[in-house]
C-alpha cells in the first residue's frame, strides 16, 4: 500500500500537492498541464525551508521572504541603531533586518558565517559619507556564507579612488535585489580559491565623474565562480561595466548597456579568460565611449587551465560610429581558445569577426529602426521581422544550455519565457 510521506514543513507540503496534481492528470489518461510557475523552494542558512514566491510584477519584484524570523533588528529607535554596531555584535547564523532609512557613515565589517542581512520594506540606503571600512568599502564581507538583499550602497569613496559599495574578500556571497550607485567601484572582490559570488536582480549605475580613476561597476577578481542574473549595469565612466577574472563566469539575462550619458570602457571584459557563458544579455556601448570594443576576452593572457567563451542569444548594441562587437586575444593563448558565437543580434556599425576556432552561426544584424524600444533601448524584433524563426537552437556547452529560458525585465529582474519552434536571434523572443 502506497502512503504519502508525512511532512509538516510548508515547503515540503507544497511539493507534495504539486506532485499529486501531476499524478492525477496522468491517471486520467492525459498529459499533465504545464504547472504555473509559483516560485522556488530553497533552504535558508538555519536549515529551514523557505518559499520564494514568483513576483506578480517581475520588474518590481519584492525581495524573497525568508521563513526565518529576524534575530536582530537594526535602525533608528531599535536596540541596535547602526550597521557598524550590528556587524560587531552579529553572531554566526544571524538573520539581520535593517529598517528603511538612510544610514550615513556607518561602515561595517562582516566576518560571521551563515549570515543573512536584508532590508525591510522600502530599500534602506547605506551612504558612504566619507567613511569606509579599512578605507576600502562601505561594507567589507569576510564571512563564510553571507546573503545580502534589498540594500542600496551609495557614495563610497577611498583615498586610492577604489572605494566600493561592497568589498567581498572570503567565502561565498549572494547579493539579491540590491542597488549600487555613485561609488568609486560598485562592487569588488578579492582573489582567493573557493570564493563564489552570485548577483541577481540588482542595479549597478552612475559611476562618479572625477576623471582620475577607473570606475568599474563590478570588478571580480580570480575567484572560482561568478553568476550574474537579471541585473542592470548602466552609466559607467572610464572603467568597465563588468570585469571578471573568475575561473567560471555565467552572465545570464542582464542589461549591460551604458546609455546616452555613459562613458564606460568595455561593457563586458574577461581579461584572463576562464570559462565564460554569456547568454541572453543586452550589451551595448554609448556614442561617447573612448574604447570601441564591447565584449573583450583574454586581453591580459590566460590565468586558468581551461578557457572558452560561449556567447549565445545576446543583443549587442553599438551607438558609436564604428567599433568591435567582440575582441578575442587568441594570440595570447598558446593552446588556442574555443569561442562559440551563436544566434546573437547586432545593432549598429561594428566588426563581429569569426573566431579562430569554435562555432560562428546564426548571428544576424539589424538596423535600429527595425526594433521595438524597451527600457529606452531598441531591443525587440517586430512581429513581422524576417529574422523571426531564422535561427536554430544553439545546443549545450557541456552541461549549460545555451538556449535562453528567460529574459531581462526593466529596471532589474527576469521573467520566464517559452521558446517556440520559431526561434529568433538576440536576447528577446
Strands 377-381 and 371-374: antiparallel
Grid cell of 326 as nine digits: 567582440
- The grid cell for 218 is 563590478
* Residue 310: closest CA among 379, 360, 255: 360
pLDDT value at residue 133: 56
Contact in structure between 263 and 288 (CB atoms under 8 Å):
yes
Among the listed residues 125, 126, 93, the one whose alpha carbon sits nearest the alpha carbon of residue 108: 126
Q: Which parts of the chain have pLDDT scores under 50?
A: 1-67
Does the N-terminal peptide bond of residue 166 adopt cis geometry, omega within 30 degrees of 0? no
**How high is the pLDDT of residue 131?**
67
Cβ neighbours around 335 below 10 Å, total: 8
Please name the helix (run of DSSP H) or strand (run of DSSP E) that holds residue 26, with its range, or none: helix 10-27
**What pLDDT score does 32 carry?**
36
The pLDDT of residue 39: 47
Indicate yes or no: pTM above 0.85.
Answer: no
Domain ranges across the chain: 8-52
Report the chain's C-alpha Rg in angstroms. 22
Concatenating the DSSP letter of every residue in 160-212 gives TS--EEEEE-SSEEEEES-EEES-SEEEEE---TT-EEEEES-EEE-----SS
Amino acid at each position: 500500500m502506497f502512503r504519502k510521506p508525512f511532512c509538516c514543513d510548508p515547503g515540503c507540503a507544497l511539493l507534495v500537492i504539486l506532485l499529486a496534481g501531476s499524478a492525477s492528470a496522468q491517471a486520467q489518461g492525459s498529459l499533465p498541464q504545464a504547472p504555473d510557475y509559483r516560485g522556488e523552494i530553497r533552504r535558508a542558512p538555519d536549515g529551514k525551508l523557505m518559499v520564494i514566491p514568483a513576483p506578480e510584477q517581475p520588474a518590481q519584484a519584492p525581495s524573497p521572504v525568508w521563513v526565518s524570523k529576524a534575530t536582530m533588528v537594526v535602525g533608528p529607535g531599535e536596540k541596535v541603531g547602526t550597521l557598524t554596531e550590528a556587524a560587531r555584535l552579529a553572531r554566526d547564523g544571524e538573520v539581520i533586518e535593517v529598517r528603511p532609512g538612510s544610514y550615513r557613515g556607518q561602515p561595517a565589517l562582516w566576518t560571521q558565517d551563515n549570515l543573512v542581512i536584508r532590508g525591510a520594506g522600502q530599500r534602506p540606503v547605506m551612504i558612504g559619507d566619507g567613511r569606509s571600512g579599512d578605507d576600502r568599502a562601505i561594507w567589507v564581507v569576510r564571512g563564510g556564507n553571507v546573503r545580502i538583499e534589498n540594500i542600496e550602497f551609495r557614495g563610497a569613496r577611498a583615498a586610492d579612488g577604489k572605494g566600493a559599495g561592497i568589498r567581498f574578500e572570503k567565502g561565498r556571497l549572494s547579493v539579491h535585489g540590491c542597488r549600487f550607485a555613485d561609488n568609486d567601484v560598485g562592487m569588488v572582490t578579492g582573489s582567493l580559491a573557493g570564493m563564489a559570488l552570485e548577483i541577481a536582480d540588482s542595479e549597478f549605475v552612475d559611476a562618479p565623474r572625477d576623471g582620475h580613476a577607473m570606475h568599474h561597476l563590478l570588478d571580480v577578481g580570480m575567484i572560482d565562480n561568478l553568476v550574474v542574473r537579471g541585473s542592470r549595469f548602466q552609466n559607467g565612466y572610464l572603467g568597465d561595466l563588468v570585469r571578471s577574472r573568475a575561473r567560471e563566469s555565467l552572465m545570464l539575462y542582464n542589461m549591460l548597456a551604458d546609455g546616452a550619458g555613459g562613458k564606460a570602457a568595455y561593457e563586458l571584459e574577461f581579461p584572463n579568460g576562464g570559462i565564460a557563458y554569456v547568454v541572453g544579455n543586452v550589451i551595448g556601448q554609448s556614442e561617447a565611449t573612448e574604447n570601441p570594443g564591447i565584449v573583450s576576452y583574454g586581453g591580459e593572457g590566460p590565468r586558468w587551465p581551461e578557457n572558452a567563451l560561449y556567447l549565445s542569444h545576446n543583443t549587442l548594441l553599438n551607438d558609436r560610429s564604428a567599433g568591435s562587437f567582440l575582441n578575442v586575444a587568441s594570440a595570447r593563448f598558446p593552446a588556442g581558445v574555443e569561442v562559440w558565437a551563436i544566434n546573437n543580434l547586432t545593432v549598429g556599425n561594428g566588426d563581429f569577426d569569426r573566431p579562430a576556432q569554435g562555432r560562428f552561426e546564426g548571428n544576424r544584424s539589424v538596423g535600429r529602426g527595425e526594433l521595438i524600444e524597451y527600457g529606452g533601448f531598441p531591443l525587440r524584433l517586430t512581429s513581422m521581422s524576417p529574422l523571426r524563426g531564422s535561427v536554430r537552437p544553439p545546443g549545450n556547452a557541456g552541461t549549460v544550455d545555451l538556449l535562453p529560458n528567460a529574459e531581462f525585465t526593466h529596471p532589474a529582474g527576469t521573467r520566464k519565457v517559452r521558446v517556440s519552434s520559431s526561434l529568433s536571434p538576440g536576447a528577446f523572443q
